[in-house]
Amino acid sequence: MLCSGRFLAPTLHSGSIEHVNTSSSRRRLRSSATRALGIALFLLAMRAAAQPTGIISGVVLDAATKAPVPGAVVIAKSPTLLGEQSAVTDESGVFEMTMLTPGTYAIAVQHKAFLPFSPDGLIVRDRRVRVRVQLTAEQRPAPPSEAAAVEFDDSSMTRPAMISGPEPEYTQEAIDRRVQGQMTVKCVVGSDGAVHKCRVTKGVPFMNSAVLAALEQRRYRPAMAHGKAVDVYYTFNVRLTLPQ
- For the four alpha carbons of 213, 219, 223 and 226, in that order, the dihedral sign comes to positive
Phi, psi of 84 (to 5 degrees): -150, 160
* pLDDT higher at 82 or 38: 82
Amino acid in the structure at residue 42: F
What is the predicted pLDDT for the residue at 176?
93
> What is the distance between the terminal CA atoms of the chain, rounded to a whole angstrom?
108
Mean pLDDT in residue range 22-26? 51
Phi, psi of 29 (to 5 degrees): -65, -45
Are 234 and 157 in contact, with CB atoms under 8 Å apart?
no
241: nearest Cα among 196, 186, 175, 184: 175
Task: State the pLDDT confidence band at 44, using cuts at 50, 70 and 90.
Answer: low
* pLDDT higher at 183 or 39: 183
What is the predicted pLDDT for the residue at 102?
93
Phi, psi of 214 (to 5 degrees): -65, -45
Query: Which tens digits make up the pLDDT trace of 97-134?
Result: 998 999 999 999 999 999 999 988 999 988 899 999 99
- For 54-135, which CATH class? mainly beta
What is the predicted pLDDT for the residue at 5?
41
Query: What pTM did the predictor assign?
Result: 0.43
* 64/58 Cα distance (integer angstroms): 18
| Residues recorded for the chain | 244
CATH classification number, 150-240, choose in 3.30.43.10, 1.10.540.10, 1.10.510.10, 3.30.2420.10: 3.30.2420.10
Percentage with pLDDT > 90 across the chain: 67
* 24/41 Cα distance (integer angstroms): 26
Phi, psi of 44 (to 5 degrees): -65, -40
* 179/200 Cα distance (integer angstroms): 17
Q: Can you give the residue ranges of every domain in the chain?
A: 18-48, 54-135, 150-240
Q: What 3-state class would DSSP assign to 28? A: helix
